[in-house]
Homo-oligomer: A and B are copies of this chain.
Amino acid sequence: MSGAYELRPIGRVESPLTDPADAPRQGDEGAPQAWLVFSPAVAAGLRDLRPGVEVLVLTWLDRARRDVLTVHPRGDRSRPEAGVFSTRSPHRPNPIGLHRVRVLAVDGLRLRVAGLEAVDGTPVLDVKPVLGPPDER
């Protein structure tokens, strides 16, 4: 599996969450509102994002370990270890976070979102729309 690819962050998370140990495990488990703050270089790509839409935010979980292949699900040591690709553990070979959030407000290069469990400073890689049914694409 030769070859590596370079990710270049397009923005950062601004969140009251600062310690991964305190963060909810998923966005629908009590995650707070947060800002996504984008680089001016990608402004044109943001122009059609509107309050109310649901989007998938991809992040780089830069505090995660990359050498982990099995984990106790949800960090619960009473549960048997599982292969990491059957879990949502942040610790994995390519620690890409996938977050479904609702856009609350748009202010230039800043997007206010609800229900994001990523901690303050987390690099943002991409934003994608949630797909509707095929005939609405």
Contact = CB atoms under 8 A, between A and B. Distances in A.
A10 interface: yes
A33 B70 CA distance: 28
Interface string A18-49: 00000001101100000000010111111111
B94 A8 contact: yes
**How many copies, total?**
2
Interface residues of A, number: 56
Given A5-B123, A93-B8, A98 B45 contact: no
A7 B8 contact: no
A96 B94 CA distance: 12
A5 B82 contact: no
Contacts of A10: 1, 93-94
